[in-house]
């Protein structure tokens, strides 16, 4: 069975974050991603995005828990779409 | 917004990107204070051994129960299946140049239901010669010689399904 919480990798990731100088206490994310890049990625993943929109409703119907958010992320880690379930 | 490790620190998405597997992170696993109240469950979306994206479930202050995880897994599975189906359909339609117009599809559905040309013409409010013209175009596009072949080919190519036919 897959280990869903890979502790060794989490520790290694924290080390890398310290080395990269990632701001631990930042309140705002500086994405460095402009609108053109985002639109290009959305267009590249147009079919996936439209299916994600349709499926969001199915998820909401099936889930008894309402305070969750579904996200669609591209292969590079960029947020493409979000779908809030319930409140 | 980017979930890469360099942008926002350790999180389920950056870990799934590195490991290529499902990852579930708790608030204490996240490096950045911004994610400190979140529980994140990330499922990679695999198509032919390549990750095309990630489906992510986020929950504020509450852990993600097994039922929700299973629902997320099923949703990811459905997402990939529907994507494959849509891509297959569009490649079949595109590559073989069978781009049928709305009118042609409508006529073909009536033909498949067994309606004679005269009835189709009256139903669509067009002349019988127009129906004949469209039929010729349909046969040409599908590279077939009769109505039965056209219907079978459309079903094979997923252009039409049984439920489209009134019997």
Nearest residue on chain A to B39, judged by CA atoms? A68
Same domain, B70 and B30: yes
Same domain, B82 and B55: yes
Q: CA B121, CA B131: separation in Å to the nearest integer? A: 6
How distant is the Cα of B23 from the closest Cα of chain A, in angstroms?
5
Give, in degrees to the nearest 5, the angle at Cα B36 between B35 and B41: 60
Note whether B68 contacts A68, CB cutoff 8 Å.
yes
From A52, A70, A78, residue closest to B2, measured CB to CB: A78
A21: left (phi over 0), alpha (psi -120 to 50) or beta: left
Burial zone of B26 (CB within 10 Å; 0-12 exposed, 13-18 middle, 19+ buried): middle
Specify whether the CB–CB gap between A51 and B47 falls below 8 A. no
> How high is the mean pLDDT of chain B?
87
pLDDT grade for B92, boundaries at 50, 70 and 90: low
Nearest residue on chain B to A44, judged by CA atoms? B52
Note whether B78 contacts A55, CB cutoff 8 Å.
yes
Q: CA A67, CA A75: separation in Å to the nearest integer? A: 26
DSSP B2: B
Domain end position, chosen among B47, B72, B94: B94
Find chain A residues with C-beta within 8 A of B58's C-beta.
68-71
Mean pLDDT of B17-40: 94
Q: Domain range spanning residue B119?
A: 102-164
- Residue-wise pLDDT tens digits, A47-69: 899 899 888 778 877 777 778 89
Find chain A residues with C-beta within 8 A of B7's C-beta.
22, 29-32, 77
Mean pLDDT of B81-91: 77
Note whether A51 contacts B29, CB cutoff 8 Å.
no
Whether B80 has a pLDDT exceeding 90, the answer reads yes
Residue of B19, B30, B31 to mutate, interface with A, max A Cβ within 10 Å: B31
Domain boundaries, chain A: 33-87
Whether B96 has a pLDDT exceeding 60, the answer reads no
How many structural domains comprise chain B? 2
Q: CA A84, CA A60: separation in Å to the nearest integer? A: 9
Domain with residue B152: its CATH number is 1.10.10.10
Tokens of B20: 């290529």
Domain end position, chosen among B40, B61, B94: B94
Q: Is the pTM of this model over 0.80?
A: no
DSSP A33: -
ipTM surpassing 0.85: yes
């Amino acid at each position: 069975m897959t280990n869903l919480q890979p502790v060794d990798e989490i520790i290694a990731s924290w080390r890398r974050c310290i080395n990269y100088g990632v701001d631990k206490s930042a309140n705002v994310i500086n994405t460095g991603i402009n609108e053109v890049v985002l639109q290009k990625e959305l267009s590249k993943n147009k079919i996936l995005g439209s299916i994600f929109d349709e499926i969001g409703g199915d998820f909401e119907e099936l889930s008894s828990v309402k305070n969750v958010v579904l996200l669609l992320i591209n292969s590079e880690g960029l947020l493409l779409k979000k779908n809030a379930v319930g409140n | 917004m980017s979930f890469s490790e360099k942008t926002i620190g350790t999180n389920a998405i950056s870990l799934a990107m590195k490991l290529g597997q499902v990852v579930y992170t708790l608030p204490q696993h996240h490096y950045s204070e911004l994610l400190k109240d979140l529980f994140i469950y990330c499922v990679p979306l695999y198509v032919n051994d390549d990750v095309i994206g990630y489906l992510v479930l986020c929950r504020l202050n509450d852990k993600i129960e097994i039922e929700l995880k299973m629902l997320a897994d099923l949703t990811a599975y459905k997402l990939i299946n529907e994507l494959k189906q849509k891509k297959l359909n569009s490649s079949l339609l595109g590559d073989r140049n069978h781009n049928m117009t709305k009118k042609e599809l409508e006529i073909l559905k009536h033909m498949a239901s067994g309606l004679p040309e005269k009835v189709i013409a009256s139903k669509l409010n067009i002349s019988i010669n127009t129906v004949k013209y469209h039929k010729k175009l349909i046969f040409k596009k599908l590279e077939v010689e009769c109505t039965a072949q056209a219907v079978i080919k459309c079903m094979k190519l997923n252009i039409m399904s049984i439920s489209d036919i009134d019997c």
